[in-house]
Amino acid sequence: MFSLSQLEDAAALIHAVLPPTPQICWPLLSARCGAEVWVKHENHTPTGAFKVRGGLVYLDDLRRARPEIAGVVTATRGNHGQSVSFAARRAGIHAVVVVPHGNSVEKNRAMRALGIELVEHGHDFQAAYEHALELADARKLHMLRSYHPLLVLGVASYSLELLRAVPNLDTVYVPIGLGSGVSGMIMAREALGLKVRIVGVVAAGAPAYALSFAAGHAVSTNAADTMADGIACRVPVAEAVALINRGVDRIVEVTDGEIMTAMRYYFTDTHNIAEGAGAAPLAALLKERRKMAGRRVGLVLSGGNIDRDLYVSVLDGEKTGEAELEDGEP
């Protein structure tokens, strides 16, 4: 756990580069959910997702601790890679980013635009990650994993912003990919001495962290089958599991159909673009609508990076036949 002063120092470093993101209570969304809903807009960062915060803290520390470093290598589905790309360019460090084949075309373009070396390898994140480990050894690069205490320290700054700006939240819903975002939320809550409940959200097709929560230890799966690439995890991080299992109230699983419905609601009710992982917390709140009626609730909209063609098909409802909520009614 980090102290409040450590969290504040990291936030100051981040805020020297990018401003705090807004937290907004949207009337239409609140009416639809039957609660006072505050959205933390991490889709409003320079890279379109919360991960940039962790990259800035990690690479600032690396540049000062190891100025001789030849470069870094990491694996990603996109948002972590954009974070590393953004921060590495700022720190003057060469970065190699490994993505699986079939990764988001637009996320790949965004990373290349930041000047990194992009490598495509494997069929999913885990295969890309394993190749990144091989490249680190072969090319003497620093391996930058997607979950690390310094990354958590950085991304915790969004939780610090939200929990200070919106007092007396009853519950906050946070998506779980590898776990840095929800870990940061737990640390910020503890540092501030608050009682807000934290609910983790995973895709039903990628339930590794839900299974780990139920079992009390890390449980891997053979596949991570979801359109929400930011939470498509099949091998959980043991350190994240330990923190999550003692720090969250529960974990909710949502289907791809429920996620895509939430993506449409974000657009119609707030005119914000939410990628699948970013919309998952809203999908979970809608699933628990009766339980949360009348409460003050936070939703982490973790990112808005989604390819145009996929987003258009989601808005048109082409990929789901599930019933939607109309006019705020279940």
Give the model confidence (pLDDT) of 185-223 as tens digits: 999 999 999 999 999 999 999 999 999 999 999 999 988
Higher per-residue confidence, 125 vs 217: 217
pLDDT at 69: 87
**321 pLDDT above the threshold of 50:** no
Intrachain domains 4-50+152-315 and 52-143 with the same fold: yes
pLDDT band at 180 (very low <50, low <70, confident <90, very high): very high
pLDDT at 323: 44
**59 pLDDT above the threshold of 70:** yes
d(CA 146, CA 99): 13
* Lookup result for tokens 């791809």: 256
User: For 278-304, what is the mean pLDDT?
Assistant: 98
* Lookup result for tokens 């997702």: 49
Nearest-Å Rg of the Cα atoms of the chain is: 18
| CATH T-level topology, domain 4-50+152-315 | Rossmann fold (3.40.50)
Residue type, 39: V
52-143: what CATH class? alpha beta
Residue type, 162: L
> Residue ranges of the domains in the chain?
4-50+152-315, 52-143
pLDDT at 329: 41
pLDDT at 322: 45
Q: Provide the sign of the torsion angle of the four alpha carbons 39, 147, 170, 2, taken in this order.
A: negative
**132 pLDDT above the threshold of 70:** yes
User: For 226-240, what is the mean pLDDT?
Assistant: 92
d(CA 302, CA 324): 22
**90 pLDDT above the threshold of 80:** yes
Backbone angles phi, psi at 121, to 5 degrees: -160, 135
